[in-house]
Amino acid sequence: MQTITTATELRHALAEARRRGKRIGFVPTMGYLHDGHLALVNASRARSDLTIVSIFVNPTQFGANEDLSSYPRNFLRDETLCREAGVTIVFAPDTQEVYPAGFQTVVEPGELAEPLCGAFRPGHFRGVATVVCKLFNMVQPDVAFFGQKDFQQCTVIRRMTADLNFPIEIVIVPTVREADGLAMSSRNRYLHAQERQQAVAISRGLLAAADEFRSGERDVSKLVATAKEHFAEIDQLQYLELVDAETLKPAASPLQRPAALCLAAYVGSTRLIDNVIMSFPSPLLGSST
């Protein structure tokens, strides 16, 4: 495994693979890797000849009062996990490499960035779309892998990839959960023991609504109410919305199209997100080009 820090070095390292027609898979991350990230790596290895993992804590997707300075980092551990998982190259650019002096060009993701997390984190998805666009240009993968936990992000990136004519297949990998159901996240480490127990209510509520959907319930208000029944211990429910899985607009009742029940909540001071997909009949997850 190689660790590379510049786009020029990365292009040189991949030149022979491209010449030989090798399929390049890409997993963009902000580091502090967990089993959710490794599921993306495994998906890439199954569908690619080489797997590139980027590790870059992107400053432009953090708001003024968010956790950029305290965001968990452990690069040596991340390198070890990547090596053990069979990653070909770790791409770890510094901020100057990604945002050179005088940087001012950004990607505006449009209306998909406005609801859900976008309503509470203005500018967040502009930062996400911009950095993913830049990473796509630097890595030039054939296929890129993202986790369903960040469903709105996945939707924004799929739209950007299509709109900007990137010849990249986007694969969405199902959320990886802890044994008790909590969605894996680098931010879970912020939770104290009692908060960790409280946080399980998030997945419990979402999965209860998904079970009700599978049992035949199609009324939007009833599905949302089922999830809410489990959230008494959640400190602050920022939003809980059932949205059209493609447009992210409020889902029409009764459900007749794929939908996503999306949530953001604070447990203590830690903001967590999660979602479940309600599909007709096959899941929305998978790949698109």
Question: Per-residue pLDDT averaged across 196-223, rounded?
Answer: 97
Q: How far, in Å, CA of 4 to CA of 209, rounded? A: 44
Q: Residues 279-287: contacts with CB within 8 Å, 24+ apart?
A: 279/245, 280/255, 280/256, 284/172, 284/245, 284/246, 284/258, 284/260, 285/148, 285/172, 285/173, 285/174, 286/171, 286/172, 287/143, 287/169, 287/170, 287/171, 287/172
> Confidence class of residue 203 from pLDDT cuts 50, 70 and 90?
very high
pLDDT at residue number 235: 87
Q: Pick the catalytic residue from 12, 34, 37, 192.
A: 37
Class at the top of the CATH hierarchy for domain 2-173 = alpha beta
Residue 49, SS3 per DSSP: coil
pLDDT, tens only, 78-109: 999 999 999 999 999 999 999 999 999 999 99
pLDDT, tens only, 153-183: 999 999 999 999 999 999 999 999 999 999 9
Q: How far, in Å, CA of 42 to CA of 33, rounded? A: 13
- The residues that bridge with 259 in the sheet, in sequence order, are 244, 278
pLDDT at residue number 287: 60
> Confidence class of residue 281 from pLDDT cuts 50, 70 and 90?
low
pLDDT > 60? residue 283: no
pLDDT at residue number 282: 47
Class at the top of the CATH hierarchy for domain 186-278 = alpha beta
pLDDT > 50? residue 222: yes
Question: Per-residue pLDDT averaged across 190-195, rounded?
Answer: 95
Question: Per-residue pLDDT averaged across 224-252, rounded?
Answer: 96
pLDDT > 90? residue 233: no
Question: Per-residue pLDDT averaged across 111-121, rounded?
Answer: 97
Q: Kindly tell me the sign of the dihedral angle through the C-alpha atoms of 185, 191, 197, 202.
A: negative
- Residue 37 is among the residues annotated as catalytic for this protein: yes
pLDDT at residue number 280: 79
pLDDT > 90? residue 65: no
**pTM for the complete prediction?**
0.95
